[in-house]
Amino acid sequence: MSEFKIYNKSCYELQELSGNSIDAIVTDPPYGISYQNHYWDKDLPKRQIWEDSLRVLKPGAFGLVFSSIRLMHRLMVDLEDSGFIIKDVLFWSYLNGMPKSRDVALDIDKELGIESKVIGKYKYVQGYKKNGADNYYANKEKFKYEPTSELGKKYQGSGLGLKPAFEPIILIQKSIEKKLNVAQNIIKYSTGSLNIEETRISYANGEKTVGHNPHSKGRVASNIVRTEEFNDGFDKFFLIPKVRQKKEDFNFHPTLKPVDLMYHLVKLVSFEGQTVIDPFIGSGSTGIACLKLKRNFVGYELKKDYFEIAKKGLENIKTEVSYMLF
């Protein structure tokens, strides 16, 4: 039976955990971009947490760390300087990213003190909605403008950013023990390889087998990850089978990650019966995936209200696991 321990406190030092005791790390730390002005996202975590994580992980242990496009380079340097090997970067691609842009042409009109022209109205739609966005904020009507100054007209349609459609997830590893090869490291610590077998992407409907030596479970998962169907022909390489979370309504965490994505990530870096750490649990999606996949889980969350969401989510499956809360 799987176990979990979650701590409502800062993760720094991980003092409850002994060295070389954890099999994998899967975490979604603050991105350092002040997402929706949340204070806890103001800065990237201090390098110390990665040094602490390196200490508690077993030699050969793998990890996955979410990041942002703008600051992944800094996070990767922190991870590398802490002693981790950077193995890969996974791209989690999705459809509902919002371009952080603005109509510069209208700003130019304003700056020049010239009034822009109203040319109609539109319904404000936030993000992408699969079955048509018409009802999404349907009552929020906004005016549609067009620039009137000469300079404004020249810059009409220009903006400041692209639609984000992926998040990077950094794949890291703690070195295997000196003088051991991978097999010897696995025998000694049970860590050192990725769980390719459990993360294979099933063959698409109608597709029988592929390649000269087809595997019954499908293709090896790639470093592009999708949880939404794009129907562009690439789904058969990148789409993770969906496992929908139930009773999610109580969860108001602003950066909640889909549990079907977390299943895939937890499976990739760990095996049944192993222990996974998440120093930044938020609403606990890593932990839920771990328990359902028969992994033990250790996590930390600074904010009491997020901790309570995580606790509730984990308690919802407490019939399947034994639990301890701090």
Interaction of residue 52 with ligand SAM, rule CB under 6 A: no
Which one of 257, 264, 267, 311 is in contact with ligand SAM (CB under 6 A)?
A: 257
Nearer to ligand SAM, 123 or 303 (CB): 303
Burial of 252 (0-12, 13-18, 19+ CB in 10 A): exposed
Interaction of residue 311 with ligand SAM, rule CB under 6 A: no
Quote the CA–CA distance of 287 and 276 in Å, as a whole number.
8
Binding to ligand SAM in span 216-255, by CB under 6 A: 253, 255
Which one of 10, 34, 126, 135 is in contact with ligand SAM (CB under 6 A)?
A: 10
Applying CB under 6 A, the span of 57-65, 98-106, 224-232, 296-304 interacting with ligand SAM comes to 296-304
Nearer to ligand SAM, 176 or 288 (CB): 288
Burial of 268 (0-12, 13-18, 19+ CB in 10 A): buried
Quote the CA–CA distance of 72 and 76 in Å, as a whole number.
6
Q: Report the interhelical angle of 304-316 vs 285-292 (nearest 10°).
A: 20
Q: Residue type at 40?
A: W
Degrees (nearest 5) of the Cα angle 99, 75, 168?
45
Helix (H) or strand (E) holding 207: none
Interaction of residue 201 with ligand SAM, rule CB under 6 A: no
Which one of 21, 40, 235, 308 is in contact with ligand SAM (CB under 6 A)?
A: 40
Applying CB under 6 A, the span of 27-35, 184-192, 202-210, 234-242 interacting with ligand SAM comes to 27-35
Footprint of ligand SAM (CB under 6 A): 10-12, 28-30, 40, 253, 255-257, 280, 282-283, 285, 300-303, 306
